[in-house]
């Protein structure tokens, strides 16, 4: 199902959501989201590795270790990052307030924030809105919730999958936000996925780490890892399937494939909605000596401002691509063996321009909205793909005006 309309996100038994306008930054905008997890749900998580991680990230990590989560509390308009000990106290105050309203322990509440860095969290504004958020909980609120977690995103991103696990139909739904400060490092901007399948906690974390590594950790807009990144997976167990406990369970590949597909759709939707983006670019590196080497080349291309501006202009300035490949940290790279293609047009080989290449072919290859950059290193059997966007005037404008 596509992440394009309200019908694209199905209810997940055992999970309810609400999105309300608390007035955190912009009056009338949905900016406070609450997720309620059924008792007994298992949760897997990945968080940013940014050393300046936000107060809610620090607290969510601690609470996840101390208790079984029952609520996720998400606010936009304020990142509560770069706020020191007062920021931690503010995040905890919100958890305590929600716990009191919901009748759970504060450790059962995981906080998440996104927005401007370095400003105090408006605790009173958030806590005053909690009764309304609790009253609004329902299982069909994925789309409003996806809207409620947005910052500079231009549209909500939510989607679902349904699969059969040995005769039991299970549902997977998810939402994600992020359009700038996008280059995940073991997590993503903000992503919340859930399934009603019953999965052992340890197996769920292992599965989630694997899925994140090949979806949210393969997208980049600008190469900046956020202070607030978090990617969460909930398994409520409400579908009633026999518990999945072993990595060798024959049902696990079915669930893994559906989860990977859902996560990749959401991750790619973030790139398509990248700040000011007009191009969606798949950078594929093949025949590398290792996956790490392939990723090094792919990210060097994807993070090059010169490459990204050429993509925006539909300018087949392929020399920028060669320069990016050549400066990647790949010892002993033999440039004479490299082949470069853009949307299946052979651009370069044998250390220079391909014999049959023409500028007209290059312009045609660079013009579509979706572009495939394919690099063949011819030094091994490994490969990797990274998804990115172009760099436009609007990216500069959006980020220059972010605080104003």
* Residues forming the active site: 188
Do 301 and 318 touch, CB atoms closer than 8 A? Answer: no
Secondary structure class of 307 (helix, strand, coil): helix
The CB density around residue 331, as the number of other CB atoms within 10 Å, is 6
Query: Strand 71-75 to strand 109-113: parallel, antiparallel, or no bridges (unpaired)?
Result: parallel
Q: Is the dihedral of CA 384, 282, 326, 364 positive or negative?
A: positive
> Cα separation of 342 and 2, whole Å?
26
Beta pairing, strands 280-288 & 370-376: parallel
Helices (H), 239-358: 252-272, 291-302, 305-313, 318-327
How many angstroms separate the Cα of 126 from the Cα of each of 73, 110, 232? 10, 14, 22
CA nearest to 147, candidates 3, 271, 10: 3
d(CA 157, CA 155): 7
| C-alpha 143, offset from chain centre | 17
CA atoms of 371 and 388, how far apart (whole Å): 10
Q: Which two tokens stand for residue 162?
A: 């349904």
Extended beta strands in 14-133, E state: 15-20, 32-37, 42-47, 71-75, 109-113
> Quick one: CA dihedral 67, 73, 79, 82, positive or negative?
negative
Work out the end-to-end distance of the chain between its first and last CA atoms, rounded to an integer number of angstroms.
37
Cα-to-chain-centroid distance, residue 264: 9
**Residue 312 CB contacts under 8 Å (≥ 6 apart), including other chains:** 278, 279, 390, 391, 392
Q: Extract the runs of DSSP E, i.e. beta strands, from 309-381.
A: 339-342, 345-349, 352-353, 370-376
User: How is 96-114 classified by DSSP, letter by letter?
Assistant: HHHHHHHTS-GGGEEEEEB
């Amino acid at each position: 199902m596509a992440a394009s309309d309200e019908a694209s996100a199905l209810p997940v038994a055992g999970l309810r959501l609400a999105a309300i306008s608390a007035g955190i930054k912009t009056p009338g905008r949905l900016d406070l989201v609450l997720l309620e997890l059924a008792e007994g749900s298992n949760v897997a998580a990945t968080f940013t590795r940014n050393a300046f991680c936000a107060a809610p990230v620090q607290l969510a990590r601690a609470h996840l270790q101390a208790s079984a989560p029952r609520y996720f509390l998400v606010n936009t308009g304020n990142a509560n990052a770069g706020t020191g000990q007062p920021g931690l106290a503010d995040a905890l105050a919100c958890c305590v307030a929600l716990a009191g309203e919901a009748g759970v322990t504060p450790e059962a509440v995981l906080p998440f924030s996104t927005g401007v860095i370095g400003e105090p969290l408006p605790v009173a504004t958030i806590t005053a809105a909690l009764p309304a958020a609790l009253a609004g909980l329902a299982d069909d609120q994925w789309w409003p919730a996806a809207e409620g977690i947005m910052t500079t995103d231009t549209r909500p991103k939510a989607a679902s999958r349904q699969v059969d696990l040995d005769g039991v139909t299970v549902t997977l739904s998810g939402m994600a936000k992020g359009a700038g400060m996008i280059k995940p490092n073991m997590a993503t901007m903000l992503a919340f996925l859930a399934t009603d399948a019953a999965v052992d906690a340890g197996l769920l974390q292992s599965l989630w780490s694997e899925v994140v590594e090949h979806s949210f950790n393969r997208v980049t807009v600008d190469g900046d890892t956020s202070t607030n990144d978090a990617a969460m997976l909930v398994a409520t167990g409400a579908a009633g399937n026999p518990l999945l406990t072993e990595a060798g369970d024959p049902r696990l590949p079915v669930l893994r494939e559906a989860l990977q597909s859902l996560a990749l759709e959401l991750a790619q939707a973030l790139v398509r909605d990248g700040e000011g983006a007009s191009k969606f670019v798949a950078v594929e590196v093949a025949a590398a000596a290792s996956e790490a080497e392939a990723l090094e080349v792919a990210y060097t291309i994807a993070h090059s401002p010169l490459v990204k501006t050429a993509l925006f202009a539909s300018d087949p300035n392929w020399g920028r691509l060669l320069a990016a490949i050549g400066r990647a940290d790949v010892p002993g790279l033999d440039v004479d063996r490299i082949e470069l293609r853009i949307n299946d047009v052979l651009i370069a080989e044998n250390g220079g321009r391909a014999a049959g290449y023409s500028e007209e072919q290059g312009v045609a290859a660079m013009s579509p909205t979706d572009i495939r950059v394919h690099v063949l290193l011819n030094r091994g059997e490994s490969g990797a793909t990274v998804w990115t966007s172009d760099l436009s005037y609007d990216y500069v404008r959006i980020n220059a005006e972010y605080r104003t």
